[in-house]
Structure 1
Amino acid sequence: MIDEVKQVGARLRVLRTSRGWTLEELAGRAGMSPSTLSRLESGKRQPSLELLLPLTRQLGVGLDDLVSPSVPDPRVRRDAIHRPGMVIVPLVPVGSPMKTYRITYLPVEEMPEPRVHDGYEWLYVLSGRLRLILGDQDLVLTRGEAAEFDTSVPHAMIAAGKRPAEVLSIFNDAGDRIHTHTPERE
């Protein structure tokens, strides 16, 4: 709670300046001295309801906009998923609307059977070479190349050559289930 209170002054300053108001203008509208508002914004004065309520009325915001909970740790800590011929590292938290992964395609002898599912997939090759079978096309994508395709078209991917291919992939929910499903996760 102490961290949230420390942020009140900074949030007040941002709200005031975003409206183009000077300290004197907002302080006058809220019925306080400019020096009181300045001390609030700089954190040299403890915020109180008596001071904040007139300010929030003038700014057109609620108290929650000034005293919001601290931001949770944004780091994603999820286990890698090991599938035959690939290692899938989730890059977003569970439940995120974006399904984003770093997939390492390992060198294998045989191309897996092409799959189809609803949705679209977007990928970007970070390193190595990726062989993409997409319908009748047999493509090799290299570092820096991207592809987007309708996943209702039969498709399969492997590393092209003897080195792994590292890819950033984004899919919808259907693609997420196809790529990350393993029997032991059921």
Structure 2
Amino acid sequence: METLGTAGDRPAEDRVERVLSGLGAKIRRARREQGMTLEGLAAAAGTSAAHISRLESGERQPSLDGALRLAFGLGMRFDELFEEPGDPEPGTVVRGGEAPVFQGKGVRLQRLVPEAGPEGLEAVKVIYPADRVADQELHEHEGQEWLYMIKGRLRLTLGEERTVLEPGDAAFFNARLPHNFDVLSEEDAEVLMVSCVPCTHRLASPESRRSFTDGHPDLKGLR
């Protein structure tokens, strides 16, 4: 596994620009979180609503004493107002030979990311063998699923509807709709599956923190 896109050390000039360019949006966000109007913040900071509006739009930058009054008016520490934004997490590259492969109940799964991302995003390649016994039961779970057919043919049952997916076809659906997959081709079917389980579900309880693979008996327990 490799990481890409690390920010590295930034020149002081760039760091100052990052702080100042985001200052207006930070003031607006903090004001709204406090439930304050432009006029309310202006009164608390000893300035005019028009000046606050220009600060929030980025047309103006506050003076030192003006920034202090803004911080006090917003109930923030001065250093919070000028806190440098953090760098984004670096990207990840998983080479084909490094991606872990798991054997499930009649399927093989290759996990394309080390683990679910902060937004509950998971990506896997699933191989359904041609001799797999058809699954008669429909399954459902939290989240959204997107899939892309790489090889073979699959029948997707979604609720009371059925459709056949061939290489190049894609499908997207709410995973709470009852669904299953059956192989129709004489060769193995390979599918790229991407699932997103919102944080509100993943953080609510141990039950809702399950991986989307737990919603499929063939994939259940694969980590």
TM category, shorter: 0.5 to 0.7
- Whether 1:144 and 2:168 are equivalent positions in the alignment is yes
Q: 1:86-141, CA deviations, whole angstroms, 9 ceiling, x for partnerless residues?
A: 11100011242420001111122322411011221100001111111111112110
- Whether 1:118 and 2:142 are equivalent positions in the alignment is yes
For residue 177 of structure 1, give the secondary structure of its aligned residue in structure 2: helix
1:78, 1:127 → 2: CA distance? Answer: 19
For residue 214 of structure 2, give the secondary structure of its aligned residue in structure 1: helix
**4+ residue stretches of structure 1 with deviation over 4 A?**
none
Tell me the equivalent position of 2:212: 175
For residue 60 of structure 1, give the secondary structure of its aligned residue in structure 2: helix
Pairwise CA distance, 1:61: 6.5
Q: Which amino acid aligns with 2:103?
A: H
For residue 85 of structure 1, give the secondary structure of its aligned residue in structure 2: coil
C-alpha RMSD of matched pairs (Å): 3.1
Pairwise CA distance, 1:161: 2.4
1:178, 1:74 → 2: CA distance? Answer: 27
- Whether 1:86 and 2:107 are equivalent positions in the alignment is yes
Tell me the equivalent position of 1:100: 123
* Matched-pair contact (CA < 8 Å) for 1:106–1:158: no
Q: Which moved more, 1:126-135 or 1:107-116?
A: 107-116
For residue 93 of structure 2, give the secondary structure of its aligned residue in structure 1: coil
Higher helix share: 1
Q: Which amino acid aligns with 1:177?
A: D
Q: Which amino acid aligns with 1:171?
A: S
Report the identity percentage.
Answer: 27
TM-score for the superposition, normalised by structure 1: 0.57
TM-score for the superposition, normalised by structure 2: 0.48
Map 1:25-40 → 2, pairs under 5 A: none
Alignment size in residue pairs: 128
Tell me the equivalent position of 2:185: 161
